[in-house]
Amino acid sequence: MYNYKTIEEKSSEWGITQRHIQNLCRKGLIAGAIKRAGAWFIPDETPSPVKNTRAGDKPFMFVGTKKLIFNSSIRLFTQKGYENVSMNDITAAIGVRQSAVYNHFKSKHEILDTIYDFFKYNYMASRPNYADVESLFRTDSLYDVIINGFVYEFDEEARPQMVDIAKLIMQRAVIDATAANLCRSLLLEEGIKFVEDCLNMAADIGRIAPVDAHTMSLLINSIRLQTLIWVILNPPPEDIVRRLEDEKKLFMYIAGILTDLKPPATR
């Protein structure tokens, strides 16, 4: 049985404003929070959301000054290059004392490591699960599965951050072993294995004829990687529209290559 505390009590305990706690509760970001008679109540043992800053914690989120530092660092590292940004630059960008930054991060390198952690966590958390993809294979056209079933869905707040971090990772991959490993393990190997496994699953359940799933996955992921690069390059909107149209045509072509043993209309 939970013992609950009011927002006022948690505000004092956590050292963050009541308004911010209310916003987190409304967004479902504080585990166990309940609303009764217009007021929020939080389980006594719920930890401060300010401390949930590593990839192993859920939800992976930042609040207050730490959020400002994190977002500003992503922007500055991407625009100027990590080596060309100082802690003074970060504090100047958000208008706080340098001591405020060191309250949350011990060094610029720790900020970069946290950015990498954030990317890895959100990338894996956004991947569709196999059960959902299997359900799509049983009910949707192959084209719809290919264009929708393998999409990594980021929440609205994380999406622009993930694009910027992907840009930063690609920038640093040549000189930074951690960035190179993220490029290889997530942007390349993870996506290839996931689609390959899904195509083999589709063959196992009798939806498609056996196929060279690895080669087909390489093709699908090459198309998606091209689109990601286009987005990172920040071209005019009309160029993105044309790229997405090309992507649809390519996926339609791939769907035509696969042998559909049980089209939805015949089941």
- Supply the CATH number for residue 246's domain: 1.10.357
Q: What is the number of domains present in the chain?
A: 3
Residue 58 in any domain: the answer is no
pTM over 0.85: no
Q: What is the pLDDT of residues 161-194, one digit of tens each?
A: 898 999 999 999 999 999 999 999 988 899 999 9
Residue 38 in any domain: the answer is yes
Residue 229 in any domain: the answer is yes
Same domain, 163 and 44: no
Contact 261, 207 (CB under 8 A): yes
Same domain, 246 and 130: yes
Same domain, 108 and 132: no
Residue 169 in any domain: the answer is yes
Same domain, 38 and 85: no
Same domain, 255 and 148: yes
Residue 226 in any domain: the answer is yes
Q: Residue 170 has what pLDDT? A: 92
Same domain, 35 and 87: no
Same domain, 135 and 255: yes
Same domain, 135 and 256: yes
Same domain, 31 and 160: no
CA distances in angstroms from 55 to 33, 38, 165, 261, listed in the order given: 22, 33, 15, 41
The DSSP 8-state label assigned to residue 128 in this structure reads P
- Mean pLDDT of each 10-residue bin along the chain, 267 residues long: 78 71 78 83 78 44 85 94 93 87 89 91 85 90 90 80 92 93 90 92 93 95 89 84 90 93 71
Q: What is the pLDDT of residues 9-24, one digit of tens each?
A: 887 777 666 777 887 7
Same domain, 73 and 157: no
Residue 76 in any domain: the answer is yes
The boundaries of the domain holding residue 207 are: 126-266
Q: What is the distance between the alpha carbons of residues 130 and 126, in angstroms, rounded to a whole number?
A: 12
Residue 264 preceded by cis peptide, ω within 30:
no
Cβ contacts of residue 250 below 8 Å, gap of 6+? 223
Residue 56 in any domain: the answer is no
Same domain, 259 and 130: yes
Residue 54 in any domain: the answer is no
Same domain, 134 and 260: yes
Query: What tokens were used for 27?
Result: 């967004």
